[in-house]
Amino acid sequence: MTDTFGARLRRALDTRGPLCAGIDPHGALLTAWGLSDDVAGLESFAGTVVEALADRVAVLKPQSAFFERFGSRGVAVLERTVADARSAGALVIMDAKRGDIGSTVEAYAQAYLDPASPLFSDALTASPYLGFGALEPLYSTAEKHGAGVFVLAFTSNPEGARVQRARTEDGATVGAAILTAAGERNAGALPLGPIGAVVGATLADIPYDLAALNGALLAPGLGAQGATPEDLRKVFGDALRNVVPSMSREILRQGPRVEALREAAARSVDACRRALGY
C-alpha cells in the first residue's frame, strides 16, 4: 500500500461516512439470528455481515475473541472475514487489544500488521498499559506497511477509570500521558498519524486536548451502551472530524436479513454525519 493509514481512513470516512461497524459474533447474538453457536454459525454470521456492509461502510471491526473461542477453525473464519471485508473496500480494525513486551509484541506486529500474515488488518487495537514504549514494534511495523494502531486511552468500562485517571509523577493522568506520547509520535503527519486512540463515547471531561493527538479517535459506546451520536460533540469537541464512531449491537441485532443490516447501518451513518458536521 502506498497510502498511509491516516490517508486511507480519512478518505473512507469522507466518502462512505463516519462509522465503524463491529462484527461481534457472541453466542447470544448467534442464537438471536437463529444460528448455532458453533463454527458453522460463526461462519454464516460473519459472512452475512461482510456481505451486507463491507461494500458500503468505512470500517469493519471484528472482535477477535469471539472467533478465537472456536480454536483454529474460528481463526480460519476470522482470516476469511478480514480478507473478504478488505476486498470489498472496507478498512478493517482488528479488535484484539494486544499488549506485551519485547519479542512477543514483535510477534503480534507480524501477526496483524504485516501484509505477509493472513490476519493482516488495516489497524489493530492495543493496550499500552505495560508502557506506551513497550508497543514500539507495533508502531514501527504499522508505519512500515501503511497500517495503524489504536491504543486504549480512556475506556468506558467503570474499572478503567481507576487506572486511566490515576496521576503520574508530573501530575498528568495516565490516559493523558498515553495520548501525549501518541500525539508526539503523530506530529507532522497528514492528514492523520498512524497512532489512533480508543476514547469511550460515554465519557466526559477528558483531561487532554483530543485534537492534539493528530490521529483517529475510535469511539465505542454508541447505541446499546447508552451514548448517542449527539453525545460525541460533548466528548470530542474540536476533534470531531477525527472521530470514528463505533457501533456493534445497535446494527447487528437487526440481522440476519442483509437488507435490514444495511438499513440500520445507513441510519447510523446519517446520524453520525449530522452529529460530526459532515
> Which residues are known to be catalytic?
97
Cβ–Cβ contacts within 10 Å for residue 97, how many?
17
The strand pair at 243-247 and 20-23 is best described as parallel
* Angle (nearest 5°) at CA 94 between 246 and 20: 20
Three-state secondary structure call for residue 180: helix
In the beta sheet, which residues pair with residue 125? Answer: 150
Q: What grid cell was written down for 168?
A: 503520574
Is the separation of the CB atoms in 95 and 133 below 8 Å?
no
Phi-psi region of 225 (alpha: psi -120 to 50; beta: other; left: phi over 0): alpha
CA nearest neighbour of 216 among 125, 130, 135, 140: 125
